[in-house]
Amino acid sequence: MNATAPLAATRTVKLVYFAWMRERVGVPSETLDIPADLATIADLVRWLKTRGENYEAAFANEAVVRAALDQVHAKPHAALGSAREIAFFPPMTGG
Protein backbone atom coordinates (compact mmCIF):
# COMPACT_ATOMS: atom_id res chain seq x y z
CA MET A 1 0.00 0.00 0.00
CA ASN A 2 3.07 2.23 -0.07
CA ALA A 3 3.31 1.80 -3.80
CA THR A 4 1.79 5.18 -4.44
CA ALA A 5 3.71 6.96 -1.69
CA PRO A 6 5.42 10.09 -3.04
CA LEU A 7 9.17 10.51 -2.92
CA ALA A 8 10.13 11.45 0.65
CA ALA A 9 9.63 15.19 1.16
CA THR A 10 12.67 17.20 2.20
CA ARG A 11 13.32 20.64 3.59
CA THR A 12 16.36 22.82 3.50
CA VAL A 13 18.25 23.72 6.68
CA LYS A 14 21.58 25.31 7.50
CA LEU A 15 23.76 23.25 9.80
CA VAL A 16 26.56 24.98 11.71
CA TYR A 17 29.35 23.40 13.72
CA PHE A 18 31.77 24.78 16.27
CA ALA A 19 35.07 23.84 17.90
CA TRP A 20 35.95 20.16 17.55
CA MET A 21 32.55 19.39 16.00
CA ARG A 22 33.50 21.75 13.17
CA GLU A 23 36.89 20.09 12.84
CA ARG A 24 35.43 16.59 12.76
CA VAL A 25 32.62 17.35 10.33
CA GLY A 26 35.14 19.24 8.22
CA VAL A 27 33.11 22.37 7.45
CA PRO A 28 31.95 25.30 9.60
CA SER A 29 28.49 25.18 8.03
CA GLU A 30 26.55 23.54 5.24
CA THR A 31 23.12 23.80 3.70
CA LEU A 32 21.39 20.43 3.48
CA ASP A 33 18.08 19.03 2.33
CA ILE A 34 16.96 16.85 5.21
CA PRO A 35 14.03 14.43 5.24
CA ALA A 36 10.94 16.31 6.32
CA ASP A 37 9.95 13.46 8.60
CA LEU A 38 12.91 13.89 10.96
CA ALA A 39 11.06 14.91 14.08
CA THR A 40 13.70 15.67 16.68
CA ILE A 41 17.33 16.71 16.99
CA ALA A 42 18.14 13.10 17.91
CA ASP A 43 16.47 11.95 14.64
CA LEU A 44 18.59 14.42 12.70
CA VAL A 45 21.76 13.20 14.42
CA ARG A 46 20.86 9.60 13.56
CA TRP A 47 20.35 10.59 9.95
CA LEU A 48 23.57 12.60 9.77
CA LYS A 49 25.58 9.67 11.08
CA THR A 50 24.54 7.66 8.03
CA ARG A 51 26.07 10.27 5.73
CA GLY A 52 29.73 9.57 6.30
CA GLU A 53 32.62 8.84 8.63
CA ASN A 54 33.13 12.51 9.40
CA TYR A 55 29.64 12.71 10.91
CA GLU A 56 30.15 9.39 12.69
CA ALA A 57 33.33 10.76 14.26
CA ALA A 58 31.68 14.06 15.16
CA PHE A 59 28.72 12.38 16.84
CA ALA A 60 30.65 9.38 18.24
CA ASN A 61 29.91 10.53 21.77
CA GLU A 62 26.43 11.94 21.30
CA ALA A 63 25.98 12.53 25.02
CA VAL A 64 28.46 15.42 25.02
CA VAL A 65 27.21 17.13 21.87
CA ARG A 66 25.03 20.20 22.44
CA ALA A 67 22.60 21.61 19.92
CA ALA A 68 20.80 24.86 19.21
CA LEU A 69 17.74 25.50 17.05
CA ASP A 70 17.75 28.95 15.48
CA GLN A 71 20.35 30.04 18.04
CA VAL A 72 18.48 28.78 21.09
CA HIS A 73 19.81 25.85 23.15
CA ALA A 74 17.77 22.67 22.62
CA LYS A 75 17.79 19.14 24.05
CA PRO A 76 18.15 16.02 21.83
CA HIS A 77 14.45 15.24 22.21
CA ALA A 78 13.43 18.74 21.11
CA ALA A 79 11.28 18.93 17.97
CA LEU A 80 13.09 20.40 14.97
CA GLY A 81 9.88 22.24 14.11
CA SER A 82 10.54 24.79 11.42
CA ALA A 83 14.08 25.60 12.57
CA ARG A 84 16.19 26.93 9.69
CA GLU A 85 19.57 27.00 11.46
CA ILE A 86 20.64 23.99 13.48
CA ALA A 87 23.94 24.13 15.39
CA PHE A 88 26.04 21.39 16.97
CA PHE A 89 28.90 22.06 19.34
CA PRO A 90 30.80 20.69 22.36
CA PRO A 91 30.05 21.88 25.90
CA MET A 92 30.84 25.57 26.12
CA THR A 93 34.06 26.84 27.70
CA GLY A 94 33.68 30.61 27.56
CA GLY A 95 33.81 33.05 30.42
Partner 1 sequence: MTPIIRIQHEDFDLSDEIAALSYGRADIGAVVSFIGLCRDEAGTLAALELEHYPGMAEAEIARVACEAAARWPLLGLVAIHRYGLVRPGEQIVMVLAASAHRRAAFEAADFMMDYLKTRAPFWKREHRADGTLGGWVEAKAGDDDAAERWNR
d(CA 87, CA 19) in angstroms, rounded, equals 11
d(CA 27, CA 17) in angstroms, rounded, equals 7
The answer to whether 74 contacts partner 1 (rule: CB under 8 A) is no
Kindly tell me which of 47 and 89 has the beta carbon lying closer to partner 1. Answer: 89
Kindly tell me which of 27 and 36 has the beta carbon lying closer to partner 1. Answer: 27
Q: Which stretch binds partner 1 (CB under 8 A): 2-10, 37-45, 74-82, 85-93?
A: 85-93
The answer to whether 93 contacts partner 1 (rule: CB under 8 A) is yes
End-to-end CA distance of the chain: 56
